C-alpha cells in the first residue's frame, strides 16, 4: 500500500446531456439547403423550409437509411436522395410521391428548435421529454441590433476529450494566471438550479503578451453563466486605460461522441458610443481577436489533458466537486435529479495568497528580463 495518489480517469458517460444545445448561427442554416451537423452520436439534418421555419431531424431516413443531409429541400420538407420520401419538421413522413399512401406511424426523430439571440438552439433529452422553454438562455437586449457588432462565430472540433472536461473551467481560479496570463483578483461561483456562474475580476500580467485577459493595461470584470449543460454566456467588461468596452462571448458545444464534441464560440462587442463606425469596427475586431485567442488558450489545454474523476485540490481551487454534482443533473433521468445537484451553492475563493506569490513571480520575471536586455545592449557593438 502506498500513499501515491492514482489518477482515476473514469469512464465517459454513454448518454448525452439533457438540455438546450446551440447548433450555430441561425442565418447559416437559412439558405434552403440541407445542412449536416454531427451531434449526439449521429448526424442531424438541419434545414429551413419554404415557410421560414428551421427544422432538425435525425439525419438518416427511416425508409432505408438514406442520408437526408444529401437530399433536397422541397417546399417545407426535406426529401431523401434515395427514394424521395418527404419528411416534415414535425418528424412525420408527409409524402411518398410514388406510393398510394404513407404508412401509418411513419415518423422519425425530430428535435424542437428555438432561435434565440440569432442562434439556433435545439432541445435534446434521452428520455424524450417536450422542450422546456423555461430553461432557455436569456435574450440579450440590443445584441443583433446596430448597437452591437454582428456575431463573429467560430467552430472547433475537439477529439479525445469528454465535454464535461471543459465545464470544470467554471470553478478554476488559478488557470487564469497560468493559461490566460492574468491576475484573477476576485473569484466567486454560484450554482443554482440549471445555472452555474463564475464571477471573476482580473488584471493582465505585465510580463507576458497575453490574449484577451493578459493585456497589462486592461482590467476585466467577467460574469459567465452556463444555462444548462452546454451553453454559456460570458459578459465581459474591459477597462482599457479607463476606456470601457462591453463584450459578449458565447461558449457552447454539441457532444458528438463519448470522447468528442464540437465547440463553438461567438463574440459580439457593444459599439462604443460617440465613435465613428470605422473606429468601432476596429475596436470590435481587436476584442474579437483577443478574446478568440484567449478562448483558444483553454482549447489547447482541453485537447491535451486527460480526464480525472478524483482531482486533488488545494484551498485556492474553486468548488470543482460541487460543480460536477451540479453538472450531473443533466445526465440522470429527471426523476433522479437530487437536491444537491440543483440547490443554490455559493463559494468565494480567497485569492490573497495566490496573488502575493504571483506578483512576486512577475516582478522577478520583469527584473530578469531587464537584466538580460541590459546585457544584450552592453554586448552589442557600439556602432552597429
Give the burial class of 312: count Cβ atoms within 10 A of its Cβ; 0-12 exposed, 13-18 middle, 19 or more buried.
Answer: exposed
Q: Does 80 bind ligand FES (CB under 6 A)?
A: yes
In the window 168-197, what residues touch Fe ion (CB under 5 A)?
A: 169
Told to check if 43 binds ligand FES by CB under 6 A, we report no
Subset of 286-325 contacting Fe ion (CB under 5 A) = 298
Which residues fall within 8 angstroms of residue 277, CB to CB, at 6 or more apart?
Answer: none
User: Is the CB of 85 or the CB of 326 nearer to ligand FES?
Assistant: 85
The residue with its CB nearest to Fe ion is: 298
Q: Which long-range contacts (CB under 8 A, 24 or more apart) does 81-86 make?
A: 85/61
**Which listed range, 61-69, 167-175, 243-251, 263-271, lies at the site for Fe ion (CB under 5 A)?**
167-175
Q: Which does 83 bind (CB under 5 to 8 A by kind): Fe ion, ligand FES, none?
A: ligand FES
Q: Chain centroid to CA 146: how far?
A: 24
Q: Which stretch binds ligand FES (CB under 6 A): 25-33, 60-68, 245-253, 346-354?
A: 60-68
CB of 67 to ligand FES, least distance (A): 9
Closest CA to 270 of 150, 174, 354, 383: 150
In the complex, minimum distance from the CB of residue 111 to ligand FES, in angstroms, rounded to a whole number: 19
Told to check if 165 binds Fe ion by CB under 5 A, we report: no
Cα distance between residue 288 and residue 294, in whole Å: 10
What are the grid coordinates assigned to 289, written together? 481577436
Q: Are 200 and 209 in contact (CB under 8 A)?
A: no
Q: Does residue 73 interact with ligand FES by CB under 6 A? A: no
Give me the 222-261 binding string for ligand FES, x by CB under 6 A, dash otherwise: ----------------------------------------
| 374 touching ligand FES, by CB under 6 A | no
Which window, 82-90, 103-111, 197-205, 281-289, contacts ligand FES (CB under 6 A)?
82-90
> What distance in Å separates the CA atoms of residue 134 and residue 313, rounded to the nearest whole number?
35
Assess contact for 78 and 87: CB atoms under 8 A: yes
Other CB atoms within 10 Å distance of the CB of residue 223:
15
Asked if 210 is part of the footprint of ligand FES (rule: CB under 6 A), the reply reads: no
Question: DSSP label at 259?
Answer: T
Minimum gap (Å) between residue 176 Cβ and Fe ion = 7
Structural contact between residues 149 and 269, judged by C-beta atoms closer than 8 angstroms:
yes
**Contact between residue 167 and residue 198 where contact means Cβ atoms under 8 Å apart:** no
- Residue with smaller CB distance to ligand FES, 83 or 175: 83
Report in angstroms how near the CB of residue 65 gets to ligand FES at its nearest: 6
Give the distance, in angstroms, between the CA of residue 153 and the centroid of all CA atoms in the same chain: 11
Of residues 66 and 266, the one with the C-beta less far from Fe ion: 266
Q: Which residues bind ligand FES (CB under 6 A)?
A: 61, 63-66, 80, 82-83, 85
Amino acid at each position: 500500500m502506498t500513499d501515491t495518489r492514482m489518477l482515476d480517469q473514469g469512464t465517459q458517460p454513454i448518454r448525452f446531456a439533457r438540455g438546450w444545445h446551440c447548433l450555430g448561427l441561425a442565418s447559416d442554416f437559412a439558405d434552403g439547403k440541407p445542412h449536416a451537423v454531427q451531434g449526439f452520436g449521429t448526424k442531424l439534418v438541419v434545414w429551413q423550409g419554404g415557410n421560414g421555419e428551421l427544422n432538425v431531424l435525425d439525419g438518416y431516413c427511416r425508409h432505408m437509411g438514406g442520408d437526408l443531409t444529401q437530399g433536397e429541400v422541397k417546399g417545407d420538407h426535406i426529401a431523401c436522395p434515395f427514394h424521395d420520401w418527404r419528411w416534415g419538421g414535425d418528424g412525420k413522413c408527409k409524402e411518398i410521391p410514388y406510393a398510394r399512401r404513407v404508412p401509418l406511424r411513419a415518423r422519425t426523430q425530430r428535435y424542437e428548435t428555438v432561435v434565440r439571440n440569432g442562434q439556433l438552439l435545439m432541445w435534446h433529452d434521452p428520455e424524450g421529454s417536450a422542450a422546456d422553454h423555461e430553461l432557455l438562455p436569456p435574450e440579450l437586449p440590443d445584441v443583433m441590433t446596430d448597437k452591437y457588432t454582428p456575431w463573429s462565430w467560430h467552430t472547433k472540433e475537439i477529439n479525445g476529450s469528454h465535454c464535461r472536461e471543459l465545464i470544470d473551467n467554471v470553478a478554476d481560479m488559478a488557470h487564469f494566471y497560468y493559461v490566460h496570463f492574468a491576475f484573477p483578483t476576485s473569484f466567486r461561483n454560484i450554482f443554482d438550479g440549471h445555472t452555474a456562474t463564475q464571477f471573476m475580476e482580473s488584471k493582465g500580467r505585465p510580463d507576458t503578451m497575453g490574449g484577451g485577459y493578459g493585456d497589462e493595461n486592461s482590467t476585466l470584470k467577467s460574469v459567465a453563466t452556463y444555462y444548462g449543460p452546454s451553453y454559456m454566456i460570458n459578459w465581459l467588461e474591459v477597462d482599457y486605460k479607463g476606456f470601457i468596452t462591453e463584450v459578449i462571448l458565447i461558449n457552447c458545444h454539441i457532444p458528438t461522441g463519448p470522447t468528442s464534441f464540437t465547440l463553438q464560440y461567438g463574440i459580439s462587442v457593444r459599439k462604443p458610443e460617440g465613435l465613428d463606425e470605422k473606429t468601432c469596427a476596429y475596436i470590435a475586431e481587436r476584442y474579437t481577436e483577443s478574446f478568440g485567442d484567449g478562448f483558444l488558450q483553454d482549447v489547447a489545454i482541453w485537447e491535451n489533458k486527460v480526464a480525472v474523476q478524483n482531482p486533488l485540490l488545494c484551498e485556492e481551487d474553486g468548488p470543482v466537486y460541487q460543480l460536477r454534482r451540479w453538472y450531473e443533473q443533466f445526465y440522470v433521468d429527471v426523476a433522479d435529479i437530487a437536491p444537491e445537484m440543483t440547490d443554490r451553492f455559493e463559494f468565494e475563493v480567497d485569492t490573497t495568497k495566490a496573488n502575493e506569490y504571483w506578483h512576486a513571480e512577475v516582478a522577478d520575471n520583469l527584473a530578469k528580463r531587464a537584466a538580460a536586455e541590459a546585457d544584450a545592449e552592453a554586448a552589442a557593438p557600439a556602432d552597429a
